[in-house]
A and B are shown apart, each in its own frame.
Chain A
Amino acid sequence: MRGGRESGNPADGQWSSRVAVTVNGVGHDLTLDNRTTLLDALRERLGLTGSKKGCDHGQCGSCTVLLDGRRVKSCLILAVTLDGREVTTVEGLAGPDGLSPLQAAFVAHDAFQCGYCTPGQLCSARGMLDEVTRDWPSAVTGDLDGPVELTDAEVRERMSGNLCRCAAYPNIVTAIRAAAASE
């Protein structure tokens, strides 16, 4: 990353940096205001508005994306720290053959109403399922050293960082388990 003071374009702020980041498999070489969050970089610079701003404080989960495969809240990450990193957003979840199993299950099981938290739920679910595959325990896991079984209680606990005011929670749990079973 090449940071430093840049002059000429006050719109970029007093300080900006260049950063090379891969988003959904596409490389971007960006000059960004150092204050820019990953969420705002996605939405306002790259036009990837699938990631949602619900609170801008890491409290709602609507902005959840995958960073090098792990779920993160993109409103809490400064974009200029991501040189060489890979980001996957909801726009990158679908495969060439259409919706991913998770996306299809969310539609089939009505796992959302207004849809605003949905991109975050989907990215969070993707990251969460990979955590379970790696047997990372949660607060409701009985044996911390053993294999993790994907129960309703595990899904509920692990998805509680993603708020849904429409409260599609039970359908989210059903959809995630259905998708996990089909993988």
Chain B
Amino acid sequence: MSAPPVGAVGRGHPRLEGRDKVTGAARYAVEYPVADVTYGWAVPAAAARGRIVRVDVAPALALPGVLDVLHHGNAPRLTPGVDADLFLLQEPTVHYRGQFVAVVVAETIEAAREAAGLVRIDYDTEPHSTVLSEHHPGLYRPDKVNPNFPTDTAEGDFDAGFAAAEVRVDATYRTPAYHNNPMEPHATTARWRDGRLLVQDSNQGSSPVQATLAELFGLPREAVRVVAEHVGGGFGSKGYARAAVVLAALAARQVDRPVRLALTRQQLFGPIGYRTPTIQRVRLDADADGRIAAVCHDAISQTSTLTEFAEQTAVYTRSMYAGRHRRTTHRLVRLDVPTPFWMRAPGECPGAYALESAMDELATACGVDPVELRVRNDPAVDPDGGKPFSSRNLVACLREGARRFGWADRDPTPGARRDGRWLVGTGVAGSSYPARARAAAATATAAPDGTFEVRINATDIGTGARTALWQVAADALGVPVERVTIRVGDSDLPAAGVAGGSMGTASWSWAVIRAGEGLRERLRDAPGGAVPDDGLTVEVNTADEVKAQRPMARYAYGAQFAEVRVDADTGEVRVSRLLGVFAAGRVVNPTTARSQLIGGMTMGMSMALHEEGVLDERYGDWVNHDFAMYHVSVCADVERIEAYWLPEEDPDLNPAGVKGLGEIGIVGTAAAITNAVHHATGVRVRDLPVRLDKLLERLPTR
């Protein structure tokens, strides 16, 4: 075990903004008092592909309180070439159903909402293609996959290796579209004053949003200010500037008054992004003891006609398990759909569902325990290129998880365990997620009264970043936390990257630590150690240091264990226990860390059992675009959930020694649950979610 923490880092602490959040004082994007405010309401396209030939705004404008209706024929111009998805209200072309093609601005929400339904738009429609299939004629090989990985990789000779196998798995797994659904919709308050644009916006990083808005509106960056003090979740969908902020800024310019614009819940199903559906073929071959000789993962996903978004679905397989002969491929289809976007653990999450399911199938085929199978195939160096791992504690996670879960006495026979009307089964999956960092700037200021202020444009979307950075800052300054103030969530602060890719704490704390260290040094050198009356500030930027990191394979790891109970009569699945053990470097704040991990695991459970975007090909849109029909896990679904982490010191990460916790909790969870469903019932569900109709006819008879 590591030594107990000596400073603030490593100690649990309630969120700094906790009181504001439980009293209603915390202000989100459309909650700032603004004089003379108006309301924007976005109007979605009713055609999946075509051209707008006529916009009749007269009935909408006739409604009392309506100020204007913006559309491609009258909206302020944006700079082309910045982001095709954000080039809104500029052209008559419709690329997907639900694309925002007009915005009503009115004195009240009620008027805006009613008028939005009165805007009449006629389209010249063209036939559309919106269904992903492995037989789609438009399948192509993109030049790279997100964010910058090779599209395909190959080592050894997979075909020869596979042909020679003793034990083979060849299975195709499918995942549907998933919708991020943060509880706070994408929302913005926008106002223009003297050529400057100020927005309060719900996003995961206001420095990048500021940069995008500046480009779109042809402004110097300093003429745009983006505030994101409190953000009601994002899960990737608010990773960069999205439609709401652009529409609000356009509308505010048009009516020359402040505009509040929040998307409706229904409008979050598509136009702001979603996780692409995937079709994944995984092939594994192994010797009779389960040692993998060859592995191949072929992933198909979709993108739009606007922007190429290539989910890195098979990248997970490149570095996860051993095997001499390996191949991964990615193919895409451009469909008449909204552009997919980031959702919690993009790539790793759907990819791990496929690979970790195939590993379970291999375990069954070899007669090897699924924990032991993963241990046997733990590589010494990154199988993708041979780089050393900065640390790799997957095996330790599996062992510790198995011990805590009580895995040892498991009878591997499917359908063997019953408890009254319930069929009971257990499953396991591995998980990994890259541990990366981005450059960031920060300042640390000492005041003459012995207090300190640390400033960085980090964003706390609910992760606990504000609190964690405050703890990190105190230790870096070498003072008690009570003397430190942290400021985040405003593009006027030193620029930093998004809360995404599990990079937030690693990247931001890097800059905070360097700023704190720098300030301590300056104070040591100051005459008599005194702080001047106007304070003493040190500003840092970690760009050079981050770039100079030596190339290594850096990953967080985890092992997920699930116990499920399947009703033998109805096929209802209950997850009676979910347990994860993680190795993710140091943990800054155990209180918020645990919350993030169980949150990720629960979203994985939601993926396994509840979530499914159902597309209606006739209209080219999802039919279940609200919470009544797109189900997410609720309180009653989470019975017993446990998250633990191993002490892990990795000197090759970043000054704080953290790997990030935002995504690792979701990776592998769905496979652990479907593997447990197989163990309980003998039914292997290869297309998520596990609905009872997929089990019912195949359940063992009583």
A residues engaging B (CB < 8 A)? 10-14, 33, 35-36, 40, 43-44, 47-57, 59-60, 62, 89-91, 93-94, 99, 103, 106-108, 110, 112-119, 122, 155-157, 159-173
The answer to whether B184 and A169 have CB atoms under 8 Å apart is no
Is the C-beta of B408 less than 8 angstroms from some C-beta in chain A? no
**Shortest CB distance A154–B (Å):** 10
Tell me whether A47 and B33 are in contact in the complex, defined as CB-CB below 8 angstroms, given that A55-B626, A62-B183 are known contacts. yes
The answer to whether B111 and A165 have CB atoms under 8 Å apart is no
Tell me whether A90 and B23 are in contact in the complex, defined as CB-CB below 8 angstroms, given that A43-B31, A115-B230 are known contacts. yes
Identify the interface centre among B24, B182, B603: most chain A CB within 10 Å of its CB.
Answer: B24
**Shortest CB distance A77–B (Å):** 14
Is the C-beta of B464 less than 8 angstroms from some C-beta in chain A? yes
Pairs across A and B, CB under 8 Å, 19 listed: A11-B64, A13-B108, A33-B111, A36-B110, A40-B110, A59-B626, A60-B627, A89-B24, A91-B25, A113-B233, A115-B21, A115-B22, A115-B232, A118-B21, A157-B635, A159-B635, A166-B183, A166-B462, A169-B635
Tell me whether A163 and B627 are in contact in the complex, defined as CB-CB below 8 angstroms, given that A54-B265, A114-B182, A117-B183 are known contacts. yes
Checking A12, A106, A114 against B184 with a beta-carbon cut-off of 8 angstroms, the contacting residue is A114
Tell me whether A44 and B109 are in contact in the complex, defined as CB-CB below 8 angstroms, given that A13-B64, A13-B65, A55-B627 are known contacts. yes
Could you say which residues of chain B place their CB within 8 Å of the CB of A11?
A: 64-65, 107-108, 111
Could you say which residues of chain A place their CB within 8 Å of the CB of B627?
A: 55, 57, 59-60, 163
Could you say which residues of chain B place their CB within 8 Å of the CB of A157?
A: 635-636
Could you say which residues of chain B place their CB within 8 Å of the CB of A53?
A: 185, 262
- Pair count A-B, CB < 8 A: 190
The answer to whether A167 and B21 have CB atoms under 8 Å apart is no
Could you say which residues of chain A place their CB within 8 Å of the CB of B114?
A: 35
CA of A47 to CA of B20, assembled, Å: 16
Could you say which residues of chain A place their CB within 8 Å of the CB of B211?
A: none
Is the C-beta of B457 less than 8 angstroms from some C-beta in chain A? no
Could you say which residues of chain B place their CB within 8 Å of the CB of A57?
A: 265, 626-628
Determine, out of B128-136, B249-257, B589-597, B675-683, the stretch whose residues face the partner at the interface: B589-597
Closest residue of chain B to A108, judged by CB?
B14
Q: A54-B185, A107-B19, A169-B634 are in contact. List 20 more A-B contacts (CB 8 A).
A: A35-B114, A57-B265, A60-B183, A60-B627, A91-B24, A107-B18, A108-B14, A110-B591, A110-B594, A112-B21, A113-B596, A114-B462, A115-B17, A122-B22, A155-B635, A156-B636, A166-B233, A167-B602, A167-B638, A169-B602
**Shortest CB distance A161–B (Å):** 8
Task: Report the interface size for chain B: residues with CB under 8 A from the other chain.
Answer: 64
Could you say which residues of chain A place their CB within 8 Å of the CB of B555?
A: none
Residues 573-593 of B contacting A (Cβ, < 8 Å)? 591-592
- Chain B contact residues: helix, strand, loop or mixed: loop
Is the C-beta of B471 less than 8 angstroms from some C-beta in chain A? no
The answer to whether A173 and B21 have CB atoms under 8 Å apart is no
Checking A40, A56, A155 against B264 with a beta-carbon cut-off of 8 angstroms, the contacting residue is A56
CA of A112 to CA of B107, assembled, Å: 34
Is the C-beta of B479 less than 8 angstroms from some C-beta in chain A? no
Identify the interface centre among B65, B230, B592: most chain A CB within 10 Å of its CB.
Answer: B65
CA of A36 to CA of B110, assembled, Å: 7
Tell me whether A113 and B636 are in contact in the complex, defined as CB-CB below 8 angstroms, given that A52-B184, A54-B185, A59-B265 are known contacts. no
Residues 130-155 of B contacting A (Cβ, < 8 Å)? none
Checking A33, A167, A170 against B108 with a beta-carbon cut-off of 8 angstroms, the contacting residue is A33
The answer to whether A165 and B182 have CB atoms under 8 Å apart is yes
**Shortest CB distance A118–B (Å):** 5
Checking B19, B108, B232, B595 against A110 with a beta-carbon cut-off of 8 angstroms, the contacting residue is B595
The answer to whether A162 and B635 have CB atoms under 8 Å apart is yes
Is the C-beta of B498 less than 8 angstroms from some C-beta in chain A? no
Question: Interface 1/0s, chain B 1-35, versus A by CB < 8 A?
Answer: 00000000000001101111111111110010100
The answer to whether B595 and A113 have CB atoms under 8 Å apart is yes
The 8 closest A-B pairs by CB, nearest first: A50-B24, A114-B462, A116-B232, A10-B64, A115-B21, A113-B462, A167-B602, A49-B31
Tell me whether A165 and B183 are in contact in the complex, defined as CB-CB below 8 angstroms, given that A43-B31, A89-B24 are known contacts. yes
Checking A40, A165, A171 against B109 with a beta-carbon cut-off of 8 angstroms, the contacting residue is A40
Tell me whether A114 and B232 are in contact in the complex, defined as CB-CB below 8 angstroms, given that A13-B64, A35-B110 are known contacts. yes
**Shortest CB distance A113–B (Å):** 3
Could you say which residues of chain A place their CB within 8 Å of the CB of B181?
A: 165
Is the C-beta of B286 less than 8 angstroms from some C-beta in chain A? no
The answer to whether B24 and A160 have CB atoms under 8 Å apart is no
The answer to whether A114 and B24 have CB atoms under 8 Å apart is no
CA of A172 to CA of B114, assembled, Å: 37
Is the C-beta of B632 less than 8 angstroms from some C-beta in chain A? yes
CA of A153 to CA of B28, assembled, Å: 32
Tell me whether A114 and B231 are in contact in the complex, defined as CB-CB below 8 angstroms, given that A56-B264, A59-B627, A167-B633 are known contacts. yes
Residues 360-392 of B contacting A (Cβ, < 8 Å)? none
Could you say which residues of chain A place their CB within 8 Å of the CB of B25?
A: 50, 91
